[in-house]
Amino acid sequence: MLRIALDGMGGDHAPAAMVEGAVQCLDRDPELNVVLVGRPEALEPELARLSPPSGRITIHPASQVAGMDEAPGHVLRHQRDASVRVAFDLHKAGQVDAVVSAGNSGATMAVGMVVMGRLPEVDRPALASVFPGLSGPTVVLDVGANVDCSPLMLLQFAYMGAAYAERVVGLANPAVGLMSIGEEGGKGNHLVKQAYEYLKNSGLNFIGNVEGRDLFAGPARVVVCDGFVGNVCLKLAEGMFKALSRVVKERVAVSLGGRLGALLLKPTLKTLAKDLDYENYGGAPLLGINGVAYVCHGASTPKAIASALVVAAASVRGRVAEHVADGLAQYRGRLLGDNGAEERE
């Protein structure tokens, strides 16, 4: 039986969407129990309204809420009873197996790193996202945890992404690409150029620079970038898919031929929509901490929350944190050797 702590007060639509998502996930994973962390006076009425199966959803009290616009440092210093902090405290104590939050993403990442601790080879944890593509899934990181990165951090992201892609997504010896403005090794800013030199000697299956157009059709199955670029890519992709879906629906509805064609293509379109719908992925794993945590959109719907809880449970079963740690450990010499010494001086 697995227990996942859900930040019941985090997100634009909390607590209603959090509670409803927790209830929805129970049908999708019969072994999953959810610990809703937050203010009981806000969570209990929502639970009573939905009447979930007895015993599978419990409430753990937390008196404070980390606001969406609050600085992570302020949450760490002054909100020790914030719902996201209490959720990670439960994980650290072994009372839950993972944490899911749609709240303040900066605070979630900072609290997760401080409470759970980092893997020995990691300077900063990274958020990973799986992009659907013509050649299969592509793991992109960082997608928002670190807007300012060092070349060594990009190297660490590459090792974490490769381990996650290989041992969780199931991509053997994944090709690793570095996001830049051109395929040539000399293209990009100072960060990218230095990271390129590190990656050349990383021991990974590094194929060089990739461009934005390669995310969905390129040869790389792991794409590394700083959190600023990665977050722009993620939000652009989500907006593009939504716009494309809307255009298709509007154009199809204007003619009989379009409606007939849509009828024939309906199974394919449904599969495509499922593959591209972020709500089916739920959240992004925070890689590099000593635990399992998923960070969700602030605007997450109950469906997205349910998906995140199910994926978090699958990550616990798949021993994701251990696999990423093992993947990093085999390159410990490169991470803590000349490259690491050079940047940490």
Tell me the pLDDT tens digit for each residue of 70-103: 898 999 999 999 999 999 999 999 999 999 999 9
- The yes/no answer on whether domain 2-119+288-317 falls in CATH 3.30.70.1400 is no
The whole-number pLDDT of residue 343 equals: 53
DSSP of 320-335: HHHHHHHHHHTTHHHH
| CATH assignment of 126-241, among 3.40.718.10, 3.40.50.10310, 3.40.640.10, 3.20.20.70 | 3.40.718.10
Q: Averaged over 282-291, what is the pLDDT?
A: 90
Question: Token pair of 329, please?
Answer: 């450990």
CA 236 – CA 10 distance, rounded (Å): 24
Q: Are 23 and 46 in contact (CB under 8 A)?
A: no
- Side-chain-side CA neighbours of 324 within 13 Å: the count stands at 31
Q: Is 86 helix (H, G, I), strand (E, B) or coil?
A: helix
pTM: 0.85
Residues of the chain with CATH 3.40.718.10: 2-119+288-317, 126-241
- With vertex at residue 344, the alpha carbon angle to CA 339 and CA 345, rounded to the nearest 5 degrees, is 105
Contact (Cβ atoms closer than 8 angstroms) between residue 103 and residue 10: yes
List, for residues 202-246, the tens digit of each pLDDT value: 889 999 999 998 888 878 999 999 999 998 988 887 777 777 667
Q: What is the pLDDT of residue 286?
A: 94
Residue 328: per-residue pLDDT: 80
What mean pLDDT, rounded, does the chain reach? 86
- Do residues 99 and 91 touch, judged by C-beta distance below 8 A? yes
pLDDT at 179: 96
Give the separation between CA 29 and CA 279, rounded to whole angstroms.
17
* Segment 239-248, tens digit of pLDDT: 777 776 677 6
Asked if 147 and 227 touch (Cβ cutoff 8 Å), the reply is yes
List strand residue ranges (DSSP E) for the chain, in order.
2-7, 32-38, 57-61, 98-101, 126-131, 138-141, 176-179, 206-210, 222-224, 283-287, 293-296
